[in-house]
Amino acid sequence: MVLAFVVIILILTSGCGLLKKSQGSAEKDSMIKEESSALETAKREDFGCSPPPTCALMKDPFAKQFCEDWRAGKDVWSTIPDCSFMATEGCRKLCEEKTKGRTNQMPSMPSGQMPAGMPNMPSMGDFPDPADFPDMDEMMKSMQKGMPASGSMFSSRKPACVNDEDYHAQVIYARPSNSANRYDLIAPKLADWVNEANAVVNSEAENFDMNADIKIFCDGEEISVLDVSLPISSTPTKETIISALKNLGYTNEKIKYIVWYDGEATGCSTGKCRGQSSGPDADDRLSIDNANNKGPDYAFLYKIEDQKLAPFIMLHEYSHTMGAVQKNAPNGVDNEHCNDEPPLEKMGTDIMCKSDNPATTFKDSCSGFQIRFDCNNDDYFNPKPEAGSYLATHWNLGSDLNRYIKFG
């Protein structure tokens, strides 16, 4: 039971704070209003505390089950012994609301389900004296052993390390020259997020009984993350940052650069930018010399820290540079996105589905909670497309013609 309690804390940390830590106030207010409206429809007041956008990539089975039950509308609050430990004020209020009038009669933990290394739990009949519980700090340390630097609970798979003679991605930590250098803090997180983004790509390929890994430059066996200082002082546009990178020589035609910029940027239709990219090019030819099949290109993340959506934003922007989504794709919409699923922040599952047009109508084409690298595999990624289908005759990130993914 205490394990479930700790798992809940972790979920609420990664769920309730999921969309709040790295967004501007205008975007945050907009998203809170949208979520509030949806919950009013479901006749549920959540005080701003909501489940993560997906549960499928959570590593811990208890966390995953709690998350899935929460998203399904089941009563998960009966498993929480003390609301005062909730991660946010909103989640504490929601917990208190859901547990009003509850007795301390708690379900017991099924035998044989305690993960190795966890402290022994007290018997869970009537709620025991708090002094009988293991030390919560030690419990958290035990839960977090082996977790990546990003603190994520999502699946992870190492990408394909290649040398500089092959086509590949290069990760960059970039900062304005007049700001503090936080490379040592951010670089390990970037490497973790690459691993998690790669896991999404490979998971999709496994549906076709094969593997697919993003090609990336490594320093030995570790993902290379360059430390780059840019002569930028004001809040730039992506074009300003691209120009500064090019002036420093980051112009290799075999490389697509994944850039984490330690500052804010302007030029996004939604106000404060979270991510942008230099692609895709409007070239739908299924050809080795497709304009999207070379560099230099630039995928940006702007000052996203401890953001549980960071691997997905990274993959979204990087996929743009590889050519997703072409406007004439079956579910293609404005600005190279798709609409066969809602955006991730609105409980969708497709990495590339969103729209800057508020009038866009989204479908709900893929069931379940798994994050998809192309829902139904009909718009931008399909390693084995049916003859005559769109991806059998148009640019396809799942084709072995794609120089930036290794298939096997």
Range of the domain at 35: 2-106
Given a contact cutoff of 8 angstroms between Cβ atoms, the answer to whether 128 and 105 are in contact is no
Task: List the structure tokens of 89.
Answer: 């004020």
Q: Please give the DSSP secondary-structure letter assigned to residue 350.
A: B
Given a contact cutoff of 8 angstroms between Cβ atoms, the answer to whether 50 and 15 are in contact is yes
Q: What is the pLDDT of residues 111-162, one digit of tens each?
A: 334 343 333 333 333 333 444 434 444 444 444 444 455 545 468 999 999 9
Is pLDDT larger for residue 211 or for residue 99? 211
Q: How many CB atoms lie within 10 A of CB 306?
A: 14
One domain for residues 80 and 176: no
The sign one gets for the Cα dihedral 166, 168, 173, 174 is positive
One domain for residues 324 and 182: yes
Dist CA 212 CA 195 (whole Å):
12
One domain for residues 184 and 40: no
One domain for residues 81 and 211: no
One domain for residues 102 and 199: no
Q: Please give the DSSP secondary-structure letter assigned to residue 64.
A: H
Which CATH number belongs to the domain containing residue 234 in this structure?
3.40.390
Given a contact cutoff of 8 angstroms between Cβ atoms, the answer to whether 370 and 203 are in contact is yes
Of 106, 126, 149, the last residue of a domain is: 106
Task: List the structure tokens of 101.
Answer: 């009038």
Dist CA 49 CA 163 (whole Å):
45
Dist CA 347 CA 175 (whole Å):
32
Comparing CA positions, the residue from 392, 314, 301 lying closest to residue 352 is: 314
Is pLDDT larger for residue 346 or for residue 384? 384
The mean pLDDT value for 265-282 works out to 84
Of 309, 332, 355, the last residue of a domain is: 332
Q: What is the pLDDT of residue 13?
A: 43
Give the number of domains in the chain: 2
